[in-house]
Every structure is written in structure tokens, then in C-alpha cells.
Amino acid sequence: MSSKTIAQVHLADETRTSVVCDADTTCSDVVALVAEKLELFSNVSDFALVEEGAQFTRLLSGEQKPMEIVNSWNKKNTGRLVMRRVYNMTPEAPIEDPAMKHLTFAQTRSDVVQSRLAVTSDVAVQLAALYLFTVHGCHNPEVHAEGFLAKHIAEYVPEALMKEKSVPEWEAAILAAHAALDPATTEETAVDAYLATMKELVHFGMTTFPARYIRKGKAKIGDIVHVGVSAKGVAILTNPSMEVSGQYAFEQIYSWGASETVFSMSTNEEEEGLQHVFESREASHIAALLQGYVGKILENM
């Protein structure tokens, strides 16, 4: 009889759940078990386990064994398993499943505050006000006053924008936007408004990875960019504004590959293919996600 162990699976809403695993349990099995616990009934295959360490994230395939992953960690470099929505074939589509909406909202908000999805300062304030409503409800001037957000401002303001204003300035702007929300706002409509705002961004639905753009063909570049992977293919996004500087559909990409720290792809911009080379700690994650999207597209054909 194979021994069993408890695997802790972290979720985008900063909660975690426990799953009983044995040596034969796969990552796909764990995702299915967690989905059942969460009463997540739609698009479960959009989710996958990601291994997060101190210096890296790695997308795990459905066939990999969580027990092998967990047993490979040591006390000095403890990782964790995170269930994320890694595939989003129709990001513009409305979300009816309550569990799916909750997880998508939580993951989107997390990506915003970590600046994996870039927004302007004005949009950041509006998003923060909507998130504040989902946590603390309607504006109450006696409670939501100066100092209310000061110790928690990092939960509301994107990392990349934090230095644009002082903490009191960010707090004042967020509280003013919170006070200006429609009195008929509910937690559900606040979540809907948050996601609707994000859907207007060209990079919504992408998983983005910070990288150094080493080379395009023979031209050395060296710029810090974001590589965005989605159902539409690969986008190269400027840093920090995340404007699209290059967009490649899957049919325009001849090949791709990754080492531990280098991701490269060859596109159809030249007769023999133009190679783009990026340096990233998440190089293997980029390649695995691309392969996963190709599999999803083939399944839907």
C-alpha cells in the first residue's frame, strides 16, 4: 500500500486547502480535488499547479507527481504549490460560475498589485476603491478616514506605482474614489466592475513574465520587457507601461525553447525565421505555458 501525505495547495485569494496525495497522485488529480472542494464546475482545465520558490515559478504539467515535487524541497529553499488559472481562452467572456469569478478576481487583483498586469495611476486608484468596497463595504467617513489604509497600502497599490505618490496621497485618492462609488454598489457589482475595467486592457488574459530582451535576430537589445503569453500567442510588452511592441500569433511562431534562464522563439519575420532571445528566471515556465496553450487550441479544433 502506498503511503499518503497531505499537500497544501495555495489559492489566489491567499487561502489554502489540503489534499491527500500518494505517490500516484498527479497534478491534474490535485486540481480536480481542489475544484470539487471549491465547487468550481466550469473550465477546471484552465487551472494548473505552479511551483513557487524564493527565486522562481514553474508551471507543472498535469502528469507530474506533487509528492515528488514536495519531497524535492529542502529546509533552506521551501517552495509551495499554487493553483492558478493559467489558461484563459476567452478572457472577454462573462463569468457565470461563482467560484470561477471569485478565483479570477482574486488572481487578477494579485497580478495588479504585483505589477504583473500594469495599469495607470488613475486606473489603480479606481481598482483599489472597488477592492476596498469588496472588503469593507460602503464608505463610512467616520471609519474610512486618514490612516485607515496606511499600514495596508501595499494591498491596494501596484508595486511599480508605489513611489509615484506618498502613502497619504495614495490613501486620500483611494478613499475619495471609494466615497464616490454609486450608492447602489454591492460586493458582486464591485467585482464585476473591477473585472470589466481590466478587460479593457490589451494585456488582460495574458500571463506576463519579466525578462531581458537579449537579442532580436543579430541586433542586440538589452531592454527590460515583459513576455506575455495568451491564447492569441506571444506579445512583447514594454516596461513598465506594458504597451505592445511585438505581437506574434501561434501560426507566426516557428519554434521555441528554453533553458533554465533563457527563452527563445523563432518567428516568420524573415525567410529562415527571426530568433528572439530573452533572459528570464521563468524561462521554462514561458515555454511550458506556450506548449499548454497549443494543446488547448488543438483540443478545441
Q: State the pLDDT at residue 75.
A: 62
User: Cβ(231)–Cβ(89) under 8 Å?
Assistant: yes
Q: State the pLDDT at residue 240.
A: 83
CATH architecture of the domain covering 120-199? Up-down Bundle (1.20)
Question: Which H or E element spans position 37?
Answer: helix 27-38
Higher pLDDT, 110 or 78: 110
127 vs 192: CA distance, rounded Å: 11
> Cell numbers of 299, please?
483540443
Provide the 10 A C-beta neighbour count for residue 134.
Answer: 16
Cis peptide bond upstream of 240, omega within 30: yes
- Protein fold of 207-299: PH-domain like (2.30.29)
Instruction: Report the share of the chain in percent with pLDDT over 90.
Output: 84
Question: Which CATH code of 3.40.50.620, 3.40.50.720, 3.10.20.90, 3.20.20.220 fits the domain covering 4-85?
Answer: 3.10.20.90
User: Cβ(250)–Cβ(289) under 8 Å?
Assistant: no
Q: State the pLDDT at residue 53.
A: 82
Residue-wise pLDDT tens digits, 154-175? 999 999 999 999 999 999 999 9
User: Cβ(268)–Cβ(247) under 8 Å?
Assistant: no
205 vs 85: CA distance, rounded Å: 10
Q: State the pLDDT at residue 271.
A: 74
Mean pLDDT of 130-138: 97
270 vs 267: CA distance, rounded Å: 8
Residue-wise pLDDT tens digits, 51-83? 998 777 889 999 999 999 988 887 656 789 999
Domain boundaries, the chain: 4-85, 120-199, 207-299
Question: Which H or E element spans position 7?
Answer: strand 4-10
Q: State the residue for C-alpha cell 491596494.
A: 156
Residue-wise pLDDT tens digits, 211-265? 999 999 999 999 999 999 999 999 999 988 888 999 999 999 999 999 999 999 9
Alpha helices in the chain (DSSP H): 27-38, 66-72, 98-113, 121-136, 167-179, 187-199, 283-299
Residue 4 has pLDDT above 90, yes or no: no
Q: State the pLDDT at residue 76.
A: 58
Higher pLDDT, 265 or 203: 265
Q: State the pLDDT at residue 288.
A: 95
Average pLDDT over all residues of the chain: 93
Mean pLDDT of 193-220: 94
Q: State the pLDDT at residue 208.
A: 93
CA-CA distances (angstroms) from residue 198 to 6, 40, 193, 195, 238?
Answer: 36, 22, 9, 5, 18
Residue 2 has pLDDT above 80, yes or no: no
C-alpha angle with apex 83: 80 to 87, nearest 5 degrees?
Answer: 135
210 vs 280: CA distance, rounded Å: 7
